Amino acid sequence: MSADLTNLLDGYLVSGEGLVVDNPATSKPLATVRDYSTGEVTECVEAAAAAFPAWSQKTAKERSVILRHWFELMLAHQEELAQLITAECGKPIAESRGEVAYGASFLEWFAEEAKRAYGDVVPTHKANARIIVLKQPIGVVSAITPWNFPVAMITRKAAPALAAGCPMIVKPAEATPLSALALEKLAREAGIPEGVFKIVTTRNPAEIGKVLTTHPDIKKISFTGSTAVGKILMRQAADTVKKASMELGGNAPFIVFDDADLDAALDGAMASKYRNAGQTCVCANRFYVQSGIHDAFVEQFSARVAALSVGDGAVEGIQVGPLINAAAIDKVEQLVDGATTAGAEAIVGGNRSDLGGDLGDNFYQPTVLAGAQADMAIAHAEIFGPVAPVFKFETEEDVIKLANDTPYGLAAYFYARDLGRVWRVSEALEYGMVGVNEGILSTEVAPFGGVKESGIGREGSRYGLEEYLEIKYCLMGGLST
């Protein structure tokens, strides 16, 4: 790593035993960081509980000023943070720069929202009493975050927690601890005490996760990751009745109706599907294209996909980087092979990329599959790779049934110009977020989250602050009238 990156991680890199971080583009080790034990994480929880009174008793404006400083430091170190993201998770450097800006936006937003945790005075039910509703910080919070957005998924949780007055302990993904530790370093510079925001890195995520879901001093768990793991964490948290926010798996449909603006739909499809090599929880997973526009869409979509540049994300201009590891490549390969064996046709791609040189084996060709059918495994699995299966449909009623035929309900997208259809489809889709004539919907000002088995709770927007606040009802009696 460069000197600038090493400086940003000063005090966090270790020699000898620890958690080894690999570069997915080269499959070579980048660095080694501390491997926290369960006992050490328990001590971090106790430190957070001790720090809670002082942090929660700061005025909202005092917390706001500190969060704003953290935001400014993130932007000042945008390039170094972006290089760390690309090095450890593989996404193209332009996308990594965008992630840093997106992640920082949550610090800016919740620095402002900290001052807006309003309560209420409720009209009373009797003359000599008043009803007051207070909103107070829930307490110490734990968070477990994924590798695909190693900065933004931390700030999207930590910003509202700290704004509300809650200390937070974060376990980042084992694949991407470096950018998380860099965030912690910047947090210290901003004036956030160690007990208030702490990153714990580990080679034993199941053991550490159990501490973070069962310790009685932790009052809430926030998790982004797979539905299967989310269910485990919820079970573990149940014994102490912790509040839980879960942003889980997705199976996003991308629907193109005959009346759509084709060029706009193609732009949205490219942005939604191939960002981070298809490794996002809200990326388009199934493409449903109405029969009247199907052939033109497939032809033009395939031409755009064939033109994508694949390689090491650290190289300027690369559009599709590596998948995170060998297991991810194997999963994508099995899904594509299963679909083509069952009758789908790979119009573009369909195989691993063999780029040679110093690059490793974690690259997969950007792929478009035509002739996909609802009974194929690829129609029901979260692909998490640069593969777009295209399904042909006939009627609005048909595609709504197909789109909703999944236990997941995170994000959905559709393109249409008929105003009646826009309203009907928006309301009929069983998803927490719907992009209408838009392929990217994430922003700090809107509530992010899913329904069904895609999660509980919302992140971002004014609703995100509510997740870290408890409502207290106070009845003040004995008042003279």
Nearest to 418 by CA among 260, 253, 254: 260
| Pairwise CA distance, residues 425 & 403, whole Å | 10
Split at pLDDT 50, 70, 90, the class of 355 is confident
Helix (H) or strand (E) holding 38: helix 38-57
What number is the average pLDDT over the span 275-293?
97
> Residue 114's Cα: distance from chain center in Å?
22
Q: Which amino acids are annotated catalytic?
A: 247, 281
d(CA 56, CA 59): 8
pLDDT at 7: 83
pLDDT at 3 over 70: no
Domains of the chain (ranges plus CATH)? 3-248+454-473 (3.40.605.10), 252-443 (3.40.309.10)
- pTM assigned to the model: 0.96
In the predicted model, is pLDDT for residue 2 greater than 90? Answer: no
The letter for the amino acid at 200 is V
How would residue 110 be classed by pLDDT, with cut points 50, 70 and 90?
Answer: very high
- Measure the CA–CA gap between 136 and 158, rounded to whole angstroms: 17
Tens-place pLDDT, residues 254-267: 999 999 999 999 99
**What is the mean predicted confidence (pLDDT) over 383-387?**
98
> What pLDDT was estimated at residue 1?
66
